Amino acid sequence: MSSTKPPEPASQEPASETSTFGEILSQFEQEQKAEGRQALQGTVVAVTSEAVVVDIGRKMEGILPPAAFRDDAGGLSVKAGDVLPVTITGRAEGYYELSMLKVKRPVDWSGLEEAFREKSVIGGMVTEVVKGGLRVDAGVRAFLPASRSGAKDPAEMEKLVGQEIRCRITKLDQASEDVVVDRRVVLEEEAALEKERVFASLTEGVVVHGTVRTVTDFGAFVDLGGIEGLLHVADMSWSRVSKASDLVSAGDSVEVKILKVDPGTRKVSLGMKQLTTDPWTLATRNLKTGDRVRGKVVRLADFGAFVEIQPGVDGLIHLSSLAWGKRVRKPSDVVKVGDMVEAVVLDIKPVEKRISLSLKEALGDPWEEADTRFPVGSIVEAAQVTNLAKFGAFVDLGDGLEGMIHISDITSEKRLDHPKEAMAAGQKVRAVVLEVDKEKRRIRLGMKQLEPTVVDRFIAEHKVGDTISGRVISMHHDTARVELAEGVTGLCRLPKDKPGLKQAPVPQKADLTSLTEMLSARWKGSGAPAGAEPEKIRPGEIHPFRISALDAARKAVEIELA
């Protein structure tokens, strides 16, 4: 043995705590290059008479020849669950061919000192469980602390007994023959190297298998063999997914596509929906402008409503395309999330993945039959006022049609400065149709036209046969227009054989009171004075008349000479 005193143990810390990953990787690669093989930790999953099957954390399992484990009695000194240091030597029929990786075990103190100084990996056989850890035969008796064994619990420590392990010397005291080894640091270095190998093998666009480790609201983290990739919820399905747990759970085996590998941040982005055809490709290929589609309202925005017309394909109904004529302030005035609606395709933009839809087009244009439904002169009953503007009021006529009552047509009783002086939004009114313009999409209504006039009141207060007096306003052939009251005129047809009354002419500007008294006195007597000459009716003259007809609809009064 060498008499050289080993370095103080206190200065020897695990390489994982004092070295960078790059240094560890470089050192480990140099060691493996020297040995000519890559070290892997494998777990025995099955033992048969033909092969020992080992899981090495890759897509394929590996196999070892049973002869490598036969003892003197002919039995096999290996069982399921054993962890073995192995290396890949080739492939055969869906398996990796493996061989046991032999690590040099120091045979004297000089070998131990060299391994300690060079921080080399050495081999050792776990012989027993002792207080605080394990006893290891590394050429001399060495102690492996439980915390540095790589075992998670006492049960795993028990399984290490009888196994060959790879470890590194962390303390070497020749005087007391105290040797402490560390297995955990070697496992971590090998895992780091394997992780780096896996990361280097990842290529964008390649489809790989992985295992879901954790699931969050925004996605799932998938283990790809030591490297975790993020499967974002937006890349799980072409259809809308509210949370990742709706599709995957921890422990699920999934097939994913590598979307992006970032060497700088070492982040890997994965996708599942990319393994199927983009529904937008099919939608834009099969749909055309003018097609009628049916779908569910899935989202509302200030500018319109989104409708899912196919899984993963949403179309937008803009505010202006939700209803005919009706002023839609927000989509919820017409539709709500979950509604099934029918719409017409207005426009398709495949590159931008946008489809414009129209709800009102699917309902049909109500203006095509507006003049038939609302002919001029017809009365609109209980129409609701929807909006008030300074110039007039807008009225809902139903089925997407809207009429407008100009401020001058609201009332004849007084002059209005604003429609709100006579009505309010939500109020129901009665109006008459004044005009229908289909090209300009305008229906003009009036309310004052339905208010009772002096003619209406005159007709209501009189009946056919009543005798009244009136002043002749104008003459046209055998027809006279007669003023019966202020604002009320009647039409009198004169008989051809009875041109007029026998009376003296009355000046046009005569006092009406005195003329009335004079005519009254005459009519109560015997009529015209004896010997008076017949004379035709003239404008300005006052005569008695008899009502012959009253027409409230036409606001017309017909009279005849009394």
pLDDT at position 180: 94
Please choose, from the candidates 299, 379, 387, 285, the residue with its C-alpha nearest in 3D space to the C-alpha of residue 335.
299
Question: Tell me, what DSSP letter sits at residue 70?
Answer: B
Query: Distance (Å, rounded) from C-alpha 130 to C-alpha 149?
Result: 12
Would you state the pLDDT for residue 101?
Answer: 66
Alpha helices in 324-467 (DSSP H): 359-363, 370-373, 454-461
Mapping DSSP to helix (H, G, I), strand (E, B) and coil, where does residue 153 land? Answer: coil
Residue 71, pLDDT score: 67
Cα 129 from Cα 138, distance rounded (Å): 15
pLDDT in tens, 286-317: 888 888 999 999 989 989 999 998 888 889 99
d(CA 444, CA 395): 10
List of the chain residues with pLDDT < 50: 1-22, 24-25, 28-29, 31-36, 499-515, 518-519, 521-534
Q: Which CATH class is domain 366-450?
A: mainly beta
SS (H, E, C) 26-48: HHHHHHHHHHCCCCEEEEEEEEC
* Dist CA 248 CA 213 (whole Å): 10
- Can you give the C-alpha Rg of the chain in angstroms? 53
- For the chain, the domains span 40-100, 202-275, 279-363, 366-450, 454-561
CATH code assigned to 202-275: 2.40.50.140
CA–CA separation, 404 and 162 (whole Å):
97
| Domain 366-450 in the same topology as domain 279-363 | yes
Task: Tell me the CATH number for domain 40-100.
Answer: 2.40.50.140
**Residue closest to 392 by CA, chosen among 410, 374, 415:** 410
Specify the residue for token string 């040099």: 104
CB atoms within 10 A of CB 500: 15
Distance (Å, whole) CA 122 – CA 167: 6
pLDDT value at residue 75: 72
pLDDT of residue 499: 47
Predicted pLDDT at 224:
84
pLDDT on residue 279:
83
Give the C-alpha separation, 56 to 339, whole Å. 53
Tokens of 311: 């899984």
Helix (H, G, I), strand (E, B), or coil: what is residue 25?
A: helix
- pLDDT value of residue 39: 65
The candidate with the shortest Cα–Cα distance to 87, out of 107, 68, 72, 70, is: 68
Q: Quick one: residue 464, left, alpha or beta (phi over 0 = left, psi -120 to 50 = alpha)?
A: beta
Dihedral sign, CA of 149, 153, 158, 159?
negative
Fold of the CATH domain 279-363: OB fold (Dihydrolipoamide Acetyltransferase, E2P) (2.40.50)
Residue 514, classified by CB atoms within 10 Å of its CB into exposed (0-12), middle (13-18) or buried (19+), is exposed
Which of 470, 482, 473 lies closest to 540, judged by CA?
473
Beta bridge partners of 546: 467, 560
pLDDT score at 517? 53
Burial (CB count within 10 angstroms: exposed 0-12, middle 13-18, buried 19+), residue 363: middle
CATH number for the region 454-561 comes to 2.40.50.140
